[in-house]
Structure 1
């Protein structure tokens, strides 16, 4: 199975968009993300939040038991590979509610897409 670096937006993708508040978790998000981590994919949570709001989002994910490798940082493997820690989060796949092709986040559909892509 091919292992991916997966960058996932927080507001509107992992949780309902209630910024600056933190919305409810989207259906199947925890199960899907945790399965990816268990399958060996590297999960990076990406957010425009900073300061106190960033820390609240980080703590929220921990409290909800959502596994991830990095939060608003590039994965160390990619930094080493490319000898660069650029501002854009590096990944093989980006999941974001603002995507041109996203008409709403359906985590079951996303999970099936990633499973098919990694076979």
Structure 2
């Protein structure tokens, strides 16, 4: 799973590091605990990249790889496509924007599209009321 930094984990303030997007690092820690390999995939390089990695590390998020497909890769994106090999991309530039991190976690955990998540959240829930109370509750 590839994760962008600016605008996704933190508010856009590049080259500075903005405020954390609510629940971003908590969600990443849950995804790591669930067994997902996270790749930080960002335009940041050099010292700016190291600042972002350290910002995440201080908050308890350690990435599987940073700006490369796997940690042992000798040089990140030299002489080949910068396109990372990931099954899922979390980026603020998604068509439709960035869902909140709670929705992102539910989509990953339950393998839902955003559309399916919205349908699930807006479908009528069965009533736990019985008998006559169910009749009045459904009116």
Category of TM-score, reference length = shorter chain? 0.7 to 0.9
1:1-31 deviation digits (Å, cap 9, x = unpaired):
xxxxx10100000111110100111111111
**Which residue, out of 64, 73, 81, partners 2:68?**
73
Which structure 2 residue ranges, 5 or more long, are not aligned?
A: 73-79, 113-139
Name 1:32's counterpart in structure 2.
27
Name 1:3's counterpart in structure 2.
none
- Give the Cα–Cα distance (whole angstroms) in 1 for the partners of residues 29 and 67 of structure 2: 18
User: Greater CA radius of gyration, 1 or 2?
Assistant: 2
Q: Is the 8 A contact 2:11 2:17 kept in 1?
A: yes
Q: Please say if 1:96 is aligned against 2:82.
A: no
Q: Please say if 1:106 is aligned against 2:92.
A: no
- Give the Cα–Cα distance (whole angstroms) in 1 for the partners of residues 110 and 57 of structure 2: 28
Which structure 1 residue ranges, 5 or more long, are not aligned?
A: 1-5, 78-84
Q: Is the 8 A contact 1:33 1:67 kept in 2?
A: no
Higher strand share: 1
Q: Is the 8 A contact 1:10 1:46 kept in 2?
A: yes
- Give the Cα–Cα distance (whole angstroms) in 2 for the partners of residues 86 and 23 of structure 1: 29
How large is the RMSD of aligned CA atoms in angstroms?
Answer: 2.1
Equivalent position SS for 2:55:
helix
- TM-score normalized by structure 1? 0.80
- Give the Cα–Cα distance (whole angstroms) in 1 for the partners of residues 20 and 65 of structure 2: 19
Runs (4+) off by over 4 Å: none
Name 1:62's counterpart in structure 2.
57
- Give the Cα–Cα distance (whole angstroms) in 1 for the partners of residues 67 and 86 of structure 2: 12
Name 2:128's counterpart in structure 1.
none
- TM-score normalized by structure 2? 0.69
Higher relative contact order (CA 8 A, sep 6+): 1
